[in-house]
Structure 1
Amino acid sequence: MGDFTDLQAADGHRFAAYVARPAGTPRGGIVVLQEIFGVNSHIRSVADGFAAEGYLAVAPSTFSRVQPNVDLGYGEQDRNAGFALKSAVDALPAAGVMQDIEAAIAHAAQAGKVGIVGYCWGGLLSWRAAGSAPGLAAAVCYYGGGMTSPEEAGRQPRVPVMAHFGEKDHYIPLDTVEAFRRAQPDVEVHVYPADHGFNCDQRGSHDAQAAQLARTRTLEFFARHLG
């Protein structure tokens, strides 16, 4: 359903993005932000799923400024490699990867209103984009690592936001989720009896029931705000 295309950020950086197109006229655009494992088969399948619902889905390679064409699995070695790449991206000068996300939003805008959804690290980036990136109409964050910290919870989103968390997630303690909910009363927060990464059917923490409910809520949310 999709294929890779090259996009260009405002500073001239060129990078790959997986683009999945709907069968008919798009009802809007959705930018899909990867975990720390690259635009791998899972993220491509997520983008394909949004395209099947009628959206133009764009999944930019947010590792491209430090390493292109990253496609990792979910074993320990791949996880360590992903953490190292994430750290390298985090260390880039200001703007950094947000420029690539903004270019993906601009590309998705050819389909109409644009939403953004991210998973794990991508969830954090989606949260940041909700407060700074132009051209967005809505944002969804799945278990965004770090987004419940006091610093991140103090951000002010400029678009409607939905956030999904797992109550068994040791990376994002439940008390920090509740603190985030109190700090952001306008954010639609959902907590599931699941672990980190529950949406990914390639991970041992996959929870089919939680993933399906979160997907239903996400699609309803995007339908309200994008069309």
Structure 2
Amino acid sequence: MGAFIPVDTLDSDAQFDAYVAKPEGEAKAAIIVIQEIFGVNEGIRRKCDGWAKAGYVAYAPDLFWRIDPHIELDPDVPDEMDQALALMPKFNQDQGIRDLEATIKAARVAAGGGKVGLVGYCLGGRLAFMAACRTDGDAFVGYYGVGIDGLLGEQHAIGKPTMLHVPTADHFVTPDVQKAMHEGLKDNVHVTLHDYEGLDHGFATEMGQRRNDAAAVLADGRTADFFAEHLS
């Protein structure tokens, strides 16, 4: 359904690729799908295709393009998981946010000037929260975002609806971090948190060993309803 197309950086001094899936008719809004540490792999592309079927134009920018363009890794393959974890410290998250800003700009044009939502997973969940603090997107969703407790000092800048999906047995987001997130965000009227008891990181992946069907359907339904409300 989709294809990779070039997106200009904010400074228009380079281009990076984004997987773009378009609906059959006019797009009702745009959604940016933010990758995990595994790149814009088949699972991320499937999420874009799903949003296109629901009537949105969907973009998944290749945020690792400065490291190595078009990285695609499988978390169920131990060597590839190790490779993905090694990419994390090489990735400049501030530059990543600027690339998301550039993607928002492109996606808004593709949606005819309409609203743009962002949804991210793992690293992308963290970036979705950062984008809520730093960009002009219209709604933000993070699944099992890592290290959000260290970003709470920025939450005063959130002015648009934001939702976080938090699996309580996430081995990358420990109970103390989850507690800090709940306590730190409880008074922020723009942020909603949903807990998923006993589930681990990656439960909403489109494929593979990490997926939990029931929880993924629940979380994705909440996300779909959230975007339907806030991107209309």
What is the TM-score of this pair, normalised by structure 2? 0.91
- The equivalent of 2:107 in structure 1 is 108
Could you tell me which amino acid in structure 1 is paired with residue 209 of structure 2? G
CA contact under 8 A between 1:27 and 1:55: conserved in structure 2? yes
Taking the aligned partners of 1:201 and 1:77, their CA distance within structure 2 comes to 20
SS at 2:154 equivalent: coil
The answer for the alignment partner of 2:205 in structure 1 is 200
Equivalent pair of 1:8/1:14 in contact (CA under 8 Å): yes
Structure 1 residue runs without a partner (length 5+): none
Match among 218, 223, 230 for residue 225 of structure 1: 230
- Residue aligning to 1:71: 72
Cα distance between partner residues in 2 of 1:117 and 1:201: 14
Any stretches of 5+ residues in structure 2 without a counterpart?
Answer: none
Q: Which runs of 4+ in 1 moved over 2 A?
A: none
Change (3 A) 1:201 1:113: closer
Structure-2 residue corresponding to 1:9 = 9
* Count, aligned residues: 221
Task: Give the alignment's TM-score, normalised by structure 1.
Answer: 0.93
1:209 maps to 2:214:
yes
Could you tell me how far 1:226 is from its partner in structure 2?
Answer: 0.2
SS across alignment from 1:190: strand
Give secondary structure in 2 for the equivalent of 1:67: coil
CA contact 1:132–1:158 (8 Å) conserved in 2: no
What RMSD in Å do the two structures reach over aligned CA positions? 1.3
Q: Is the 8 A contact 1:154 1:183 kept in 2?
A: no
Listed one character per residue, the Cα deviations across residues 198-223 of structure 1 (whole Å, up to 9, x for unaligned) are 01143322110110000110011001
Q: In structure 1, how many angstroms separate the alpha carbons of the residues matched to 2:194 and 2:169?
A: 13
The equivalent of 1:143 in structure 2 is 144
Amino acid at match of 2:91: V
Q: Percent identity?
A: 40
Whole-angstrom CA distance in 2 between matches of 1:83 and 1:96: 19
Q: Distance in 2 between matches of 1:79 and 1:208?
A: 22
